[in-house]
């Protein structure tokens, strides 16, 4: 399976286009179903950034919706939150996509953007905010208990 790794910076052009990093484009193309858009962009629920979902992964978000009554408020709210601000995108010949204005505003993007790989998806950030997020994630990840794993052994005094 192709995954999105690393952090890469690119500049937005005057038309609001940015080039997806080559490694990310390769991963997207490997996952794109024939005839489907390359990627779906949406605002993050948790952070001031844009989430970029391979089309098939984005389609899997509908599975929890399928378990809700289609006429319920819960279904309506979740569907609006997931789909109303989603933008399917294809890259041009140079590998560029247009970032819609509402998404640029949500992420505070101006001239330069940071593409941050998260494995199955990637995010598009304002570069300074991306650095703060990575630092925060490194700190918080030290406290994460992964289900099914053994807790880390305590380190003896005076060791790193």
pLDDT value at position 4? 96
Are 81 and 45 within 8 A, CB to CB?
A: yes
Give the CA-trace dihedral at 118, 10, 96, 137, to 10 degrees.
10
71 to 65, 68, 82: CA distances (angstroms): 11, 8, 16
d(CA 41, CA 55): 10
pTM listed for this prediction: 0.85
Which run of H or of E encompasses 122? Answer: strand 122-125
Confidence of residue 125 (pLDDT cuts 50, 70, 90): very high
Q: Where are the domains of the chain?
A: 7-141
What superfamily would CATH give domain 7-141? Answer: Transcriptional regulator MraZ domain (3.40.1550.20)
Tell me how many helices (H) and strands (E) the chain has.
6, 8
pLDDT value at position 158? 58
Average pLDDT of the chain?
89
């Amino acid at each position: 399976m192709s995954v999105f790794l690393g952090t890469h910076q690119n500049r937005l052009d005057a038309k609001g286009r940015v080039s997806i990093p080559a490694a990310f484009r390769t991963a997207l193309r490997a996952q794109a179903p024939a005839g489907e858009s390359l990627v779906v962009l949406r605002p993050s629920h948790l952070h001031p950034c844009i989430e970029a979902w391979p089309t098939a992964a984005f389609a899997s978000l509908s599975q929890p919706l399928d378990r809700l009554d289609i006429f319920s408020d819960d279904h309506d709210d979740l569907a609006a939150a997931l789909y109303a601000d989603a933008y399917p995108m294809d890259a041009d010949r140079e590998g560029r996509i247009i970032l819609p204005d509402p998404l640029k505003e949500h992420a505070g993007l101006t001239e330069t953007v940071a593409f941050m790989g998260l494995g199955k998806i990637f995010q598009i950030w304002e570069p300074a905010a991306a650095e703060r997020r990575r630092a925060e994630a490194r700190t918080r990840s030290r406290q994460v208990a992964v289900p099914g794993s053994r807790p880390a052994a305590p380190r003896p005094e005076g060791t790193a």
